[in-house]
């Protein structure tokens, strides 16, 4: 079995596009709304989730034959909680400002539906390498959406990107104003809706059928 077979590539790539956990499966929306008012926390959050999903997938995949079926959720939660705690401590140690901005949402990665979904649906049935690829793919798919939303919200809401001023001062002198609604959560939902709208109009297969 080769490392980058066609199937493995697919496992890695579909969560980035056609099976994106946020825009197609509509999972993990709450944190996507909460941490995207600036680009930086969105990036950090996306990376944290990627690392946690990938590692949790590997660990669960290694244990999958020994976990008794009745208590599998508990085992999964213990693994995820451990990883979340480690990531949270690392953030506090090396990126304190961002961890303050992310506040409870790092801890709440435990309850992120993407994690449990991947562990249940993928890692319990597949080997560690495939699970790793799947975890990285799902995490990056999540991060991708977060970064897009965060990009627009920070650009239009604060006129900055990663805290660097992007919209020049002279624009403000000519009467340009930051859009206050962009910083509020409703606008995150609307940007997310636009992404979903765009993606589904590009790929008609994704559109839900009216029954």
Partner 1 sequence: MKALRNFLDKVKPSFEEGGKFHAFRSVFDGFETFLFVPNTVAKRGSHIHDCIDSKRAMSIVVIALMPALLFGMYNVGFQHYLVHGEEASFWATFFYGFLAVLPKIVVSYLVGLGIEFTVAQWKGEEIQEGFLVSGMLIPLIVPVECPLWILAVATAFAVIFAKEVFGGTGYNIFNVALVTRAFLFFAYPAKMSGEKVWISQDTICGLGSNQALVDGFTGATPLGQAVSSTTITDAIGAGMSPMDMIIGLYPGSIGETSVIAIALGAIILLWTGIASWKIMISVFAGGILTACMFNAIGANEVMNLPWTEHIFLGGFCFGAVFMATDPVTSPRTECGKYIFGFLIGFIAIVVRCLNPGYPEGMMLAILLMNVFAALIDYCFVQANIKRRLNRVNK
- Write the DSSP symbol of residue 16: G
Q: Choose, by CB under 8 A, the member of 133, 182, 188, 191 that binds partner 1.
A: 182
In 3D space, the residue among 12, 11, 49, 16 whose CA is nearest the CA of residue 144 turns out to be 16
Q: Which is nearer to partner 1, 78 or 181 (CB)?
A: 181
DSSP 173-197: HTT----HHHHSHHHHHHHHHHHHH
Closest approach, Cβ 54 to partner 1, in A, equals 36
Q: Which is nearer to partner 1, 3 or 177 (CB)?
A: 177
If one asks whether residue 171 binds partner 1 (CB under 8 A), the answer comes out as no
- C-alpha dihedral (199, 130, 82, 65), degrees to nearest 10: 130
Closest approach, Cβ 34 to partner 1, in A, equals 18
- Write the DSSP symbol of residue 122: I
Half-sphere exposure of 34 (CA within 13 A, CB side): 14
- Residue 105, both tokens: 């949402």
If one asks whether residue 179 binds partner 1 (CB under 8 A), the answer comes out as yes
If one asks whether residue 175 binds partner 1 (CB under 8 A), the answer comes out as yes
Closest approach, Cβ 192 to partner 1, in A, equals 13
Q: Choose, by CB under 8 A, the member of 190, 198, 203, 207 that binds partner 1.
A: 190
If one asks whether residue 180 binds partner 1 (CB under 8 A), the answer comes out as yes
Where do contacts with partner 1 occur on this chain (CB under 8 A)?
A: 175, 177, 179-182, 184, 190, 197
């Amino acid at each position: 079995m080769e490392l980058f077979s066609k199937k493995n590539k697919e496992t890695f790539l579909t969560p980035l596009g056609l099976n994106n956990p946020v825009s197609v499966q509509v999972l993990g929306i709450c944190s996507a709304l909460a941490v995207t008012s600036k680009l930086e926390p969105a990036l950090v959050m996306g990376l944290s989730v990627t690392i946690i999903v990938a590692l949790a997938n590997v660990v669960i995949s290694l244990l999958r034959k020994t976990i008794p079926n009745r208590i599998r959720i508990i085992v999964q939660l213990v693994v995820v909680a451990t990883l979340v705690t480690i990531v949270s401590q690392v953030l506090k140690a090396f990126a304190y400002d961002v961890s303050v901005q992310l506040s409870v949402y790092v801890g709440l990665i435990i309850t992120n539906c993407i994690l449990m979904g991947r562990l249940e649906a993928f890692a319990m049935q597949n080997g560690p390498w495939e699970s790793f690829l799947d975890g990285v793919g799902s995490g990056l798919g999540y991060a991708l959406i977060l970064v897009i939303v965060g990009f627009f919200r920070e650009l239009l809401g604060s006129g900055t990107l990663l805290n660097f001023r992007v919209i020049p001062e002279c624009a403000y002198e000519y009467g340009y104003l930051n859009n206050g609604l962009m910083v509020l959560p409703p606008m995150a939902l609307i940007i997310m809706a636009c992404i979903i709208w765009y993606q589904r109009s590009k790929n008609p297969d994704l559109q839900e059928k009216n029954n």
